[in-house]
Amino acid sequence: MDYSSVQLNDLPDEIIFIIFKKLSELDVLYSFIGVNKRFNKIVHDSTFTHSLTLFNYVSCDCIYPLSDLMLDRFCLQILPKIGHKIKWLDLEPLSMKRILSVNYPNLFGFGIYNIEKQSALNLFTDKTSLMHQFKNDILSFAIETINIQDTTINLDTTMFTHIFNMFTNLKYLNFDPFFLCYQRISFSSPPTVFSSTLLELYVKVICVEDCLYLLDGRFNQLRTFCVDIGLLFPSRSVLIINKEKLPNLRCFSLTCVLSTEFYDTIIIPLLHRMSNLEQLSLYLLHVCRNRFINGNDLKQNIIDYLPQLNQFRFSIRSTILLKDQIDLPSNKDIQHTFKDFLNNEIISCVNYFQEDNEGQCHIYSYPYTMRRYDNIANNFPGGLFTCVCEVSLFDEHHFEHEFFIRIQKSFPFMERLAIINRKAQKHKQCKKFKNINQDLFVIGYSHLKRLVLDEAHDDYVEQFLLYTKTCLPYGVYLHVDYEPLKRVTYNFKRKATRINCSKVRYICSDTNLRFPKHFKDYFLNVDVS
């Protein structure tokens, strides 16, 4: 039988174009520009030249420069030929200077990632910086610094201000695009920065008044504002609430993951200033009130004040103190308040924790778009949450193996899992599932990077270390106290936990312990900090 060999060059242009679109622009240009005239014509299309990311990355928090060989080819052979076609560049600091030495007459935006804070600030304050050549041309800019634990807020705030001094026609600014690092700004007094051109702003701030400063009219053309607030507590006792309308704002997103006690006095009045708002996202993880936020609250206090609103996404967890109240609302009661939300699927979950004297009500629109989902209890309604990478579990009742199966299926891309539960499991032995002819499922967590069990009963440490129950990925960081770990692993000699432990990077917070000789050999790595 004869076999035919089809070369890439034998395929029609349309098929080659489809194949190239499956690859990154970086790979397409590096591999095919200059090969022949036909490929040159295809790869010069704006699909491959409009926007370029000129670094390698495993994930958004693992970025590294191009190899010397690849960088040479781009700077000497590729970029000079297509520089006039490039509108956006994503760069990292080690190769940035060389890449920007090429002429880009039509460049209107770029992003800088994985750069030290001080080095980033120097880009905008050093008169010899390459940034000056783009002073009037850059309309869109994104920056992500490193120094995650650095508390030098002043550097971030100063950098934020100088960006507007540098790029005088800026329309779009994303100050921390991956939302991964500690890159928050804060103002001790009204800032000096103004812009009549800015249309979109994405930023993280320290306090609620920082958010209010940014909405006091200094960005009077702003149409999209997405803000993450570190603390909703005002830093000063008297907070002046601006009542001036924000007629140009069309899209607003507010996230606050810490305690929020000013939902009624700050957030609601702020939203009432946005009369032309079309898209709203509210992500509030801990609202303290004397009653739960429900559908009636959202309609009467928010939706009825925003006549142009056509998209409302939210995840709001409100908490109340239990003080012998009667007629506490059930989950069914809360769900009933959303009966008029016809264009949205709304999920509610109500829990009363008697030991903590606290009631919690979590309401959210589905599909769920946040990166984290906290305080999941046994009555978790399930669903698929592909955006979530951080999960925490909490209950005053025990978690069983079936519960963890539901968690794994609901959060397939979970990277961080924390468990807070001091109650022992009741059904630890292997058993058969109904209608399924097999033993206890072994749960795999293929994307898990960090497992936090500092506040978990020994049974949950065992749940995740027994190879008959859990398959941990290689290199996962484990946070757990030494003594429960010692008990579960039978003084680090238990065969049934050795397989998972051999994949684990154990983080031990107690530096005064004396470990047995075989202790470190039981784990992939041990970090005593």
Model pLDDT for residues 258-277, shown as the tens digit of each residue = 877 788 888 999 999 999 99
The string over 15-39, giving b where at least 16 C-beta atoms fall within 10 Å of a residue's C-beta and e elsewhere, is: ebeeebeeeebbebbbebbeeeeeb
Predicted local distance difference test score (pLDDT) of residue 303 = 96
Average pLDDT over residues 447-459: 96
pLDDT bucket at 440, cuts 50 / 70 / 90: low
pLDDT digits (tens, 9 = 90+) for 297-345: 999 999 999 999 999 999 999 999 998 888 899 999 999 999 988 877 9
Q: Which of 42, 46, 64, 44 is closest to 55 using CA atoms?
A: 64
Predicted local distance difference test score (pLDDT) of residue 437 = 42
Predicted local distance difference test score (pLDDT) of residue 431 = 52
CB 167 within 8 A of CB 141: yes
> Which tokens belong to 159?
């950098």
**Mean pLDDT, the chain, integer:** 90
Q: Where are the beta strands (DSSP E) in 407-475?
A: 416-421, 443-444, 450-456, 470-471
240 pLDDT higher than 70: no
The domain limits of the chain are: 371-430+439-528
Please tell me the distance from the alpha carbon of residue 476 to that of residue 489, in angstroms, as a whole number: 17
Q: Where are the beta strands (DSSP E) in 322-379?
A: 345-353, 358-366, 372-376
Predicted local distance difference test score (pLDDT) of residue 491 = 93
Predicted local distance difference test score (pLDDT) of residue 148 = 55
Alpha carbon 206 to its chain centroid, in Å, reads: 17
Please tell me the distance from the alpha carbon of residue 243 to that of residue 233, in angstroms, as a whole number: 19
Match 């590294």 to its residue by tokens.
Answer: 64
Predicted local distance difference test score (pLDDT) of residue 467 = 95
Predicted local distance difference test score (pLDDT) of residue 73 = 95
Q: Report the range of poorest mean pLDDT among 122-126, 171-175, 229-233, 409-413.
A: 229-233
pLDDT bucket at 500, cuts 50 / 70 / 90: very high
Q: Which percentage of the chain shows pLDDT scores above 70? A: 92
Predicted local distance difference test score (pLDDT) of residue 262 = 82
Q: Which residue stretches of 141-195 are H helix? A: 153-166
More confident residue, 179 or 335: 335
Residues in the chain, overall count: 529
Please tell me the distance from the alpha carbon of residue 471 to that of residue 172, in angstroms, as a whole number: 44
Strands 470-471 and 476-479: unpaired
434 pLDDT higher than 60: no
194 pLDDT higher than 80: yes
pLDDT digits (tens, 9 = 90+) for 488-499: 999 999 999 999
Q: Which percentage of the chain shows pLDDT scores above 90? A: 73
Average pLDDT over residues 283-288: 85
pLDDT digits (tens, 9 = 90+) for 74-91: 999 999 999 999 999 999
Predicted local distance difference test score (pLDDT) of residue 4 = 46
pTM beyond 0.95: the answer is no
pLDDT bucket at 435, cuts 50 / 70 / 90: very low
